Structure 1
Amino acid sequence: MPARNSDTRFGTVTRTFHWLVALLILTAILLGVIANRLPHDTAEALARKAQLFSFHKTLGLAAFFLGLARILWALEERRPVPLHPQRKVELTLAWLVHWILYLSLVAVPLSGWVHHAAMTGFAPILWPFGQTLPFVPQSQAVANAAGAAHWVFTRLLGLAILLHIAGAMKHHLIDRDATLLRMLRGVSAPDRPHPVRHAALPAILALALYSTAAGLATLLVPNTEAVASAPPPPPAAGNWTVEDGTLSITVRQMGAEVTGSFAAWTAGITFDETPTEGRHGSVVVTIDTGSLTLGSVTRQAQEAEFFDVATHPTATFSADILPAPDGYAAQGTLTLRGVDRPVTLPFSLLIDGDTARMTGTVTLDRRDFGMGQSYDDEAAVGFPVVVDVVLTAARS
């Protein structure tokens, strides 16, 4: 069997590309559908869900690189002439579907890859080259845009696959010609080919359709502003006002670190450089737990198993500010999910006139607050949760 195409048959290389790409795409789609529908209410279920998503992403990436090779081969290699060159409309539709498939081979896995690279989370790509992409920042906004594009492009790919299969079946069962057999077994047909001019219109239409799909995807991008489940009350009275700051958490899930942050929180700070009765002051922090974003597991983190945002929309940390060997310590009580636990947050403080910059880190144990009780395997969700606080405050 010849490796290259001729005017009447597909060669071995083209047919191998066709069926291998089809196998990868269909398997990746099936794995993605199954993984999306699996629960994640136990450590075992989460591990199974993450494993299927890892396979889905890995196969999608393999389809991307194989698809690029397939497109380059198709652009360089001749294409056998159609069996019914007189059917102009049918040929235009067939080439349009082929161009949509070619574009999808790039756009679908690439948008999924960007979505994966833009956020931390579980289900890594199973390869040794890292999980990030050059020029793709770790950003919820970028992840949302790529996720919306992936959703739309996948539907366009699915439609093109259905039309492609329907066309092949129409040729095989209704026209009873050798169109399908040429790709299945390399059958040579027709006996006397007539030259056919490949018009640019199908490619232009495919690009226009994909541009429309990309525009639709922009309408589906969710608002990146966190929606407060219950707006925190105004900060308690103090002599310092927070001007800027970040309250972030980091936890290990399926062996990978996942970092997120709370978009809505307030702090009432009373602080004096000179201690009074061993205290420099006090702080009251109120956190809107519904404003948390945590990579690809944001929704899971907000459910009843973890932060239980619906029942406990806020968390509070009330503490005295005490001197410590390496700076200061906020020593008090953290109320989270209705559970009170003593917490000491060591922090450093740099004061320049009426401006202060504070950085602090504390490690909590999620089990102390009844979080993830069904996830008793630390390999699925780690027990330690690292809390990092960075803020800039101005003297009132």
Structure 2
Amino acid sequence: MKDARTTALVRGSVGILPAGALGVGFFHHLTGLSGRLDGSIVFLDRPGSSSSRAMHAAGGLRLRTADGAERRLEGRTVLGGNLVDRLALGAVPEVVIVTCNPDQLLEFVTHFVEFVCEGHARFGLERADAWLPAVLLAPNGIYFQRLRLVCGEKLEEAAVFGRLPPLWPDYLEKLLGRFLRGVTMQTGVREGSGGDAVYRPGPAGHTKVGGGDAHVRRRTVAVLAGRGASVEDAGPARPTRLEFDKALINLVSNLLGQLLAVDARGAFAPLEVEEILARASDGRSLELARHVFAVGRAVGAYGTEESPEGIHETMTAASLVNRRHVPSSLQYLGLALRAGTLRPRLTPTEQWLVEPLVRYARSAGLDDAVAYFRGLRERLLERLRLAIEHAAAHGGQRLSVAPEDGADHAARFPSHPTS
């Protein structure tokens, strides 16, 4: 039986899934530095997440602001359940910002398809505008086209099993048009885990929104801008282009940053973005830009009129906006060394940058790029092993004998700071 209500969407409201480092950063600035807690901006649960369960059990979460003051965000005000719960309540956020680790995105897609099936059962797909939110995918990585394809396949499968009506020609593009790519400079840090975690939002960061249906994209930008966010509509720019531009920023600051922050003895010292760019100006960052550009041109992200020197210059300028920021992976590296939990493997962020680049380069026959990115990965893993050994020798973390990074480890990798 269809629900008699005319709508389940709450106009102007935002859901953030989940309450992680990046998510809390968004929340803090969308609520006027956590000052407007009126229930219109809420955290949504990631299904099956132990962190979400711990946060509910603790009755909320702890936040430390830039001045060092700590405050508690009460769960009854800021924790909103999951998307299906919100549908039952008739209180679906108009915009959902997905901020999980990139290796958790496939779990989100499964949850989204469940939500669509439940929405159809309650309201019908013909009324999707009344209950279907815009979904802004904000994790770092090169994944948008792949994820959109997977979501389409899962929706089609739901139609095959009768949970949805036939999707062609009326519905599939409308559903997938709700998926947007948000490339953001928002930063944040999480210290600790579970209910004891303390979140430290970074300064407000700029976000570009691409992909999806143009009307949905414009409305999403309007909703977030109305909440004080620094946000822009990237227009017809391909989401893959936005991902490649951000990939270069992240690879220089986080991956090269780790290589530079761990010396030949294995001693670690955190570096700010400005220091990383200065040390990598010996040609290392430009070499990285050339290989990223070659792969990007092969997949149509960059045009023939562009150059690696040009995107390198743009990357440098964009990075220096946060010149005093210690990149997320370096923050995580330091925290993990102190906690004795560091392992010689890539974080999900680097995994979802390096592996897609290798895959695209291999498909395009760019053997030099394949060798470069694989070599970069191996150099980083070796530096992490040195850091673990150095910490063990100096009374820090015990020597790790965990296996190296691989695709089978990605889903088990813990949450970490993000930028």
Shorter-chain TM range is under 0.3
The answer to which structure has the higher helix fraction is 2
- With structure 2 as the length reference, what TM-score do the two structures score? 0.25
More strand by share: 1
